[in-house]
Structure 1
Amino acid sequence: MRAAVDQNLADPQAAPIQEELTESDQLAFATALEQAAIDGDSEAWHKLIDWERMLETVVAGEKSPSLDKARADFRTGFLATQSKPSKDRLAEQVVSYCEDGGSFKFLRLGRVDNQPIAVFRILLPNQGGVNYHQYFLKRSDDGQVRAEDIYVFLSAERMTETLRVFWRTVAAEVSKTFIDRLFKPADPLVKSIRSIAEMRAMIKDGQYEKAIEIYETLPEKVQNEKIFNLIRMQAAIQVSDEAYASSIDDYRQRFPGDAALDFLLIDGYFFKKDYEKMLECIDRTSEHVGGDAWLLSMRAQALAYLERFEQAREVANDAIRLEPDLQDAYWRAITVSLMAKDFDETVKLLNMVEQDLGLELADLTEIPDYAEFVDSPQYKTWMESRE
């Protein structure tokens, strides 16, 4: 598979690239990473990330004997957790998404801060949503092209920044003098760092309300940390639409200029039925990603809610043309046709779902959204043609 290089992501003011990679180098990396996820080969996927170089960025900073020892221990501990398969290892998470019905798809190449990147879309299984990753590429010491960092759209920061939160807590404690330890209270973040693991454990066990309760007991300073807000969102989306919308509102207040805000607020404005603002967020996210069929299909759905049906139909068809095997694009196009009561279009799209995607349709008479279609002459004619 091959995607066009998106030069629009370049920043002409950024520092020059120290070590240039060819387009062929970058595409080879992207193809290998995508194929490893599709094949369920978590070890091959894992080896395409330069964890050593990532850790160098995470623990960079002030030098001292005590900090150097803590730095070495932190590196050793982190790399040990990444050295063997685990549910917490990123490679296993990506592979599991594909195995459970989601997908990991290479979208395009580009540049950020004048460094080559590969952009991927992650569709979570069971309509669990979408995420985007940007992999920052560099040639490792052994000559292989690997990712030295990963920008995660759902957290709006690089993985090195997320890991640095943990290193910061270690470094803060190690740097304390004897007097500090006696008389200065511990940093609230240091005291609360275990809460991250506790909240994630609650989410894994399906105890979503408990995870939110842990968040609500944290000091205000800790609640303002991005990582805690994002874990809270993961729990809130499983509790109720209201809880999820509330978590997004709090995120917006705490991080008003955050690059992920538009991406997160797509859901928030959908829940609030503010479809104009939802459209604005989709468009800005699409610009940030570099364009994507999944976002086009979301745009079509928002336009349909605004009863701009002709425009919605055009956008939905664009999404299908852009990515003919993207199931969500077809289902959202069908939603547009149902809302517009364009049942001839509904029949056409349902046939495409069966014939082009090879999917078996459920009994539409049991699905409330199809009630008017089921009562239509088009449905009767369609069913007769299938006998």
Structure 2
Amino acid sequence: MSEPPGAVTGKLRISSKLDPERPLASHAPIARFYTALVTGDLRSLQVLTERYHQDVNLVFEISKNELEWQVKSQASYGLSGLWALEERRELSTPLCLAARHGHPDCLRHLLRRGADPDLAPGGRGPLHQACLGGHSDCLELLLEYKADPNLRSEEGTAPLHLCTSRGSLRCATLLLRHGAAVGLPSEAGGDTALHVAARHPCGAANAELARLLLRRGADANAIDYDGVSPLGWALQGAASHRELRPHRTVQLLLNHGSRKIWPAAFAKVLKSCAAVPEVIEVLFNSYTQIPVSQEWAEAVPEEVFQQHQPFYESLLALAGTARSLQHLCRSAIRTHLGSRCHSLIPLLPVPKALQDFLLLEPEGVVL
């Protein structure tokens, strides 16, 4: 768990425009110190540290005024309420602020002066903040100064759980290199980093992040507290992230031995993922034989069917028929190789096109 809050040694109020009576005193050393950390002004930070803030482990209490919708009553058109100005208090440290905003030079200055890389009075440590922003250069520096890669936040998450931005691949690589536990579950939901990678696409590197975690021993069949596997999460979010090619993550998980969904539930997956036929194709081809029913045809919206007509015609044409011998041979090979499909199939002395077929590479139609 993170460090318990220490004594507050600096107070700072960040006032909104709606609170003009208590503006931020920008001339005060504590305010200038905060500004230097947020903006990455190393020179000012050095001067202020020397003159006023020799203790680089000081704890900020940052007060912010934020608008919050407060429900008052049930109206005929919905919930009735009003916007109220609420004061929020946040505890932080200079190191957390510099890591959150991605300023490695400021981090280095603070660390050289003895800043604690694991101090987390606000619930999240500097590593958590660096991961949230995808600031891999800051992360690397913190790890060099022996920050704990498995430090849990107040919510019970490790830094690896927060690798959800576009800079996540390098952040995750660094964390694993420095001893992060790849299968560590979060305390709140029991999800692993692989669950997070499957649930939160982070750009083109999404499948590569899943690949990295699987290569380092992540369990493709880990179940969170809701009983959902990484494959389950990948399927749930596929339709909203088609541009990120979610079928790659589904393919990776299946090639690493992920258990398939219950065949009777395939119609539900088809209904939610119909707009991403690559996902449907990869998942369908992972079964030796699965009955195609009329319910499947009803699950595909007409406009989606028209947009991907060749694929859905080939899929629905398999109703009441056996799969091709070619597919059955693929299934037999995959069953024999099990969770080692990803590593052994590329070693087979067969053409690349056949290797891709065995690895469930989508072709746009099913046989």
Query: Would you call these one fold, judging by a TM-score over 0.5?
Result: no
TM-score when normalising by structure 1: 0.32
Give me the TM-score of the superposition, normalised by structure 2: 0.34
Mark the structure with the bigger radius of gyration.
2
Larger helix share, 1 or 2: 1
